[in-house]
Amino acid sequence: MRGEFEGRVAFITGAAHGQGRVTALALAGEGARIAAFDIARSLSYPGYDMGSTADLESLAAACRELGSECITFPGDVRDDAAVTGAVDVTTERFGRIDILFNNAGICAYGLAHELTEDAWDAMLDINLKGAWLVARRVIPVMIRQRSGVIINNSSVAGLRGMGRLSHYAASKWGLTGLTKSWAIELAPYGIRVNSIHPTGVNTPMNDGLAALEGLTAKEIAERSAGNLLPVPWIEAEDVANAVLYLASDRARYVTGAPLVIDAGLLSR
């Protein structure tokens, strides 16, 4: 039985664990071939554990078990040479890129006036500049195909302000702006561009961010008490489902749109 994405190729950043990994597996389960890009090592900032090369290797194995092919790339989205090389290998191997999920990102707390310049630069360079660096290498591939879908993983913080997260919110608002601008630029080529805006997601990053505060993820969720629905967070599968919808032909006329998956948080 053919999957919904049979014959399509997805390039996913931040793919080793969390939302990127679950989305990669969901797409692979529907027949897509996967190019998985991840820094696969820890960074001094924000300081919690990132994905690893072992995570990338196990992702490739899991995709094979689903009957899909997955090639992996340890690399930093801030490194244009690494990004360019990964895109080139992907197109040489698979011949095309149909879906780009710009998912790589970090988060950390800090009052605006107390942030260091290094912390500000890391947040904006990974979350925002990194998405642009990847997209500017993938977009020409999609233009040649005259088709493609780009999905930027923003946040509820890309639609509202959030205390102690000004640098994070700035990066996510930037992704929202990129989404709408790229949608205008790329529509003539049949390329759709959308953003997704989750509330807190149950991932290793969620746990790592809480640990930096000396709290559990549940305590962080209880402190913020933002969701209308009685859940502390959503699951990575909820994000994957949103990506699959936006990448599918069911959303063929959806572009330039923010898809909110917030358990009602923005309605407060």
Residue 220's alpha-carbon distances to 19, 207, 224, in angstroms, are 19, 10, 6
Burial (CB count within 10 angstroms: exposed 0-12, middle 13-18, buried 19+), residue 222: exposed
Structural contact between residues 176 and 153, judged by C-beta atoms closer than 8 angstroms: no
Find the largest Cα–Cα distance for the chain. 56
30 Cβ contact list (under 8 Å, min separation 6): 3, 4, 5, 6, 244
Please report the beta strands in 2-127, taking only residues with DSSP state E, as ranges in sequence order: 9-13, 33-38, 70-74, 99-102
User: Of 63, 60, 61, which is closest to residue 32 (Cα–Cα)?
Assistant: 63
Active site residues: 168
Question: What DSSP element (H or E) covers 27?
Answer: helix 18-29
